[in-house]
Amino acid sequence: MADARRQLRSGTVVLGGMGLLAAALTACSSDPDKRCVDRDSYTLTKGYKVVADKNCKSTKTSVNGSWYYGGKKKSGWVDGGSFTKPSKGSGSSSGGSHGSGVDRGGFGSGKGSSGG
pLDDT digits (tens, 9 = 90+) for 94-114: 444 444 445 555 565 555 555
Q: What angle do CA 51, 94, 104 make, to 5 degrees?
A: 120
Query: Which residues are CB-neighbours of 76 under 8 A, at least 6 positions away?
Result: 49, 50
CA atoms lying within 13 Å on the CB side of residue 106: 0
For residue 105, the tally of other CB atoms under 10 A from its CB is 9
pLDDT band, residue 59 (cuts 50/70/90): confident
Helix (H, G, I), strand (E, B) or coil at 43: strand
Cα distances (Å, whole numbers) of residue 1 to 9, 14, 47, 86: 12, 20, 65, 53
Band of pLDDT at residue 68, cut at 50, 70 and 90:
very high
pLDDT band, very low/low/confident/very high, at 50 (cuts 50, 70, 90): very high
Cα 17 from Cα 44, distance rounded (Å) = 46
* Mean pLDDT on 24-44: 75
Mean pLDDT for all residues in the chain:
73
Give CA–CA dist 90/30, Å, rounded: 10
**pLDDT over threshold 90, residue 17:** no
